[in-house]
Amino acid sequence: MGAKADKNILFICGSLRAPSLNRQVGNAATHMLGEISAHLHTRWLDYADLPYMNQDIEFPAPATVKRVRADVMAADAVWIFSPEYNQGIPGVLKNCLDWLSRPLEPGSDDTAMKGRLTMFSCAGGGGKARYCAARLEETLAFMQTDLIETTHTQVALDRHDYTTNELVMSEAEQEALRTQTRILADRLLG
């Protein structure tokens, strides 16, 4: 158990591939958060084994769904890092959000995400995954999360990033990410 001041930030990556560039944006955010305070802890949500949302199997919730919801509910904040697939939210991430949007028990108003502090960042091609960013903003608001009002970092991936799988962020993108980490730290640490 950490000290009372410790805060846990759960990262969700919209890409499941190991060398994900979006995951690298998150890892850069972890580094920046660590520079702000040793009390800010991050970890990635493991959700690749979630079943497809299907109301036939919603109650009782499958074990994987229960585990993912417990991870989310144990977090002080959720930060999503996602690419855009065909100008939208990647299916695996949308499926995860769909499970997280549903009642914990039949007839309940409670969900794992309602009221939870959330934020997102997106890395995509020249359009900086702007369609996914717009959809995430709507979806997180619709889910009644406490979406932090800030500029959500959008990173432009180029040929170098795509061919090497090594993320290079511009100065402006790094500054935007640093600003996001500061805003989150302020909300969490007061």
Contacts with ligand FMN, residue ranges (CB under 6 A): 15, 17, 20-22, 83-87, 124-125, 127, 129, 157, 162
By C-beta, is 71 or 84 nearer to ligand FMN? Answer: 84
* Closest distance to ligand FMN from the beta carbon of 81 (Å): 8
Contact 137, 152 (CB under 8 A): yes
Distance CA 174, CA 153 (A): 9
* Closest distance to ligand FMN from the beta carbon of 53 (Å): 19
By C-beta, is 60 or 91 nearer to ligand FMN? Answer: 91
Contact 9, 37 (CB under 8 A): no
* Closest distance to ligand FMN from the beta carbon of 79 (Å): 14
Distances (CA, A) of 142 to 7, 97, 186: 25, 11, 24
By C-beta, is 34 or 88 nearer to ligand FMN? Answer: 88
Could you report how far apart the first and last alpha carbons of the chain are, in Å? Answer: 21
